[in-house]
Structure 1
């Protein structure tokens, strides 16, 4: 309307406006008083009228602010009156009358772009590895408020958004890691003497454990430990960067989790952080009195006495460890992707609004409540694409905002 008024009344934006600021203020105030939706003078009607037009009045005052009208639009008195009259006429013509089938109109407004195949299906370009439900299937999930959506995801904004290293560190803390995800291979060996080893690669490891890790292998009774050892070789591509990012991290953390997982029923030794022979964990079962008695009775064949049962138990423990032992991260977050937002706008006290680059984390899987507890995460702008989760964590207003955002991404 403002552009039409400038063309129709031949406004020269290089000239100063002849309007007095008081004229603009009075015109906008008069316009707001004539925006009537709820008729009546009783307190309830006045409150309903105020609530019904509040947002529109805010928008009007921001667009027709005195400084903008005089400095940016350079409107004359006739042009301002024409703009105000056009706004009032369009507002009155757009008011929904009682009994109007607004539900049908809303359905038509959603159905038209969906059936005409004008859905926005490219809003996740640049993250090719991420699985995203798009198009009509996603629209069905939104409208039906599905509880188990196909591709739940979190959009995580950080408090420090322009630091890629900070974003990478947060990824290592959020991404869900099981022992199986960082294991190259596993081996089961018959190694009856815990003070030495038949595995040549572990000779230094056993000696190091006895000398520096306070593991007193000399005083161990060999009968206290199973003669079978589970050897877990970890991926150096994961352990190496983890040690660089977190100086306090060591394989002792993983060893403690394994011991806790089996209720202190196993004995674990591990490689040093500076090991040059790879990162290895050696797991033995702690024998009870019955196990030692059984082993003594069958001493004719040490390997069989030491137990086929122990061997089979280690195989089951191996499967359990690789599949179920949670090491790091947030349950439900399968993968975290780092993307750059080049269109972010921030306020700078020196120059005003300016465009900048920000790093944003997007996840496969969702656990909004736990993700928001991390101190590096900006909980005021971190969201989920799961409407039910947004309702459970942030309430009905959070779910409402999520619904609008997801519809805008699809339609």
Structure 2
């Protein structure tokens, strides 16, 4: 006859086990249903396994962990790989990536994000494309041909109507962004469609050349730091892969599934979610990096050094 939950609680309450282990043990025996004798055997076996798993007093666990991670690390390659079959985006893996993780570098050499869409629209390619344009930083070179008009000492921007429609931005919005970002006068001529004239503060050749250079640094739409977004279909859903990582800003974009969006920039995870999330990210990134190379390291070594 199966014992009651109260009896189970009384039998495991004094056991020197972690809380999670006790909770798992209690749940499993309640679900299965055991007799008192069976419960005693289970407790004896669990305690034996737990004591076997414990580290001996005074053992140099730090040295063992460092050796266990460093030894297989000598077999790792030093290349940059295409990420998950997405040819347009590269990500550093292998030994260089492991060094970045262990050194706790603030910015990885190839920051990138995996952006998941909300389940409701995850299978909609058009929705995925619209979100991608909201994320990817749009600059003037994506939208227009820039001509330096030396006769009138200004810049002429001939906008591509197709690209304006594709990226969802209007002529007036571009003019406002340029005016605010450059601090110059901007004019939209009525006689020519999709054209903007940018006039420097002073009609000087030097200022005009500097303006022609600075205009490319203004982000007209999207998130500064996200250089490129690639859409890929994973199963039935579309996923976005970004070149560049801006976790805080991307989490504010409508249509993003916050619980399934990730970045390889551990420093950003720390700033947005805190130290425990960063620790978990270190464990995951190190484990994934080793596994990708066909190497197996006990996760407890990674948990210790993280």
TM-score, normalising length from structure 1?
A: 0.60
Alignment of 1:63-74 (within 5 A): 64-67=28-31, 69=32
Asked if residue 403 in structure 1 is aligned to residue 282 in structure 2, the reply is yes
State the distance in 2 between where 1:313 and 1:101 align: 65
TM-score, normalising length from structure 2?
A: 0.77
Moved more, 99-108 or 257-266: 257-266
Match of 1:111 in 2: 70
Alignment of 1:282-301 (within 5 A): 282-284=197-199
Offset from partner CA, 1:244-273 (integer Å, 9 cap, x none)? xxxxx421111122233343534333788x
Asked if residue 242 in structure 1 is aligned to residue 167 in structure 2, the reply is yes
Q: Is the 8 A contact 1:251 1:271 kept in 2?
A: no
Match of 1:328 in 2: 221
State the distance in 2 between where 1:232 and 1:115 align: 53
Deviation at 1:103, TM superposition (A): 1.1
Match of 1:59 in 2: 24
State the distance in 2 between where 1:109 and 1:158 align: 38
Deviation at 1:126, TM superposition (A): 1.9
Match of 1:365 in 2: 244
State the distance in 2 between where 1:146 and 1:327 align: 30
What is the count of residue pairs matched by the alignment? 287
Q: Is the 8 A contact 2:2 2:36 kept in 1?
A: no
State the distance in 2 between where 1:251 and 1:334 align: 22
Match of 2:57 in 1: 98
What stretches of structure 1 of length at least 5 have no aligned partner? 1-19, 38-52, 191-226, 244-248, 288-308, 343-356
What stretches of structure 2 of length at least 5 have no aligned partner? 291-306
Cα 1:313–1:95 change in 2 (3 A) is: closer
Cα 1:264–1:107 change in 2 (3 A) is: closer
Cα 1:179–1:163 change in 2 (3 A) is: same
Helix, strand or coil at the partner of 2:89: coil
1:257 pairs with 174, 177, 193, which one?
A: 177
Cα 1:271–1:333 change in 2 (3 A) is: farther
Cα 1:318–1:396 change in 2 (3 A) is: same
Report the aligned-residue RMSD.
Answer: 3.5
Alignment of 1:263-282 (within 5 A): 263-269=183-189, 279-282=194-197
Cα 1:177–1:390 change in 2 (3 A) is: same
Helix, strand or coil at the partner of 2:23: helix
**Pair member with larger Rg:** 1
Match of 1:171 in 2: 132
